[in-house]
A and B are shown apart, each in its own frame.
Chain A
Amino acid sequence: GAGVSQSPSNKVTEKGKDVELRCDPISGHTALYWYRQSLGQGLEFLIYFQGNSAPDKSGLPSDRFSAERTGGSVSTLTIQRTQQEDSAVYLCASSLESGGPTGELFFGEGSRLTVL
Chain B
Amino acid sequence: AQTVTQSQPEMSVQEAETVTLSCTYDTSENNYYLFWYKQPPSRQMILVIRQEAYKQQNATENRFSVNFQKAAKSFSLKISDSQLGDTAMYFCAFMKLTGNQFYFGTGTSLTVIP
**Which residues of A line the B interface, CB within 8 A?**
31, 33, 35, 41-43, 45, 48, 50, 56, 89, 91, 93, 95, 98-99, 102-105, 107-110
Contact = CB atoms under 8 A, between A and B. Distances in A.
Contacts of B95: 103
Interface in B26-45: 33, 35, 37, 42-45
Contacts of A108: 44
5 contacts: A42-B91, A42-B105, A95-B100, A103-B35, A109-B42
Interface string B77-106: 000000000000001010101111111111
A48 B99 CA distance: 10
A95 B97 CA distance: 13
Contacts of B44: 107-110
Contact of B101 (A42, A43, A56, A89): A56
Interface residues of B, number: 24
Contact of B104 (A43, A102, A109): A43
Contacts, number: 56
B102 A107 contact: no
Interface string B7-51: 000000000000000000000000001010100001111110010
Interface of B: 33, 35, 37, 42-47, 50, 91, 93, 95, 97-107
Given A91-B45, A109-B42, 10 more contacts: A42-B104, A48-B101, A99-B97, A102-B50, A104-B35, A105-B102, A107-B37, A107-B46, A109-B43, A109-B44
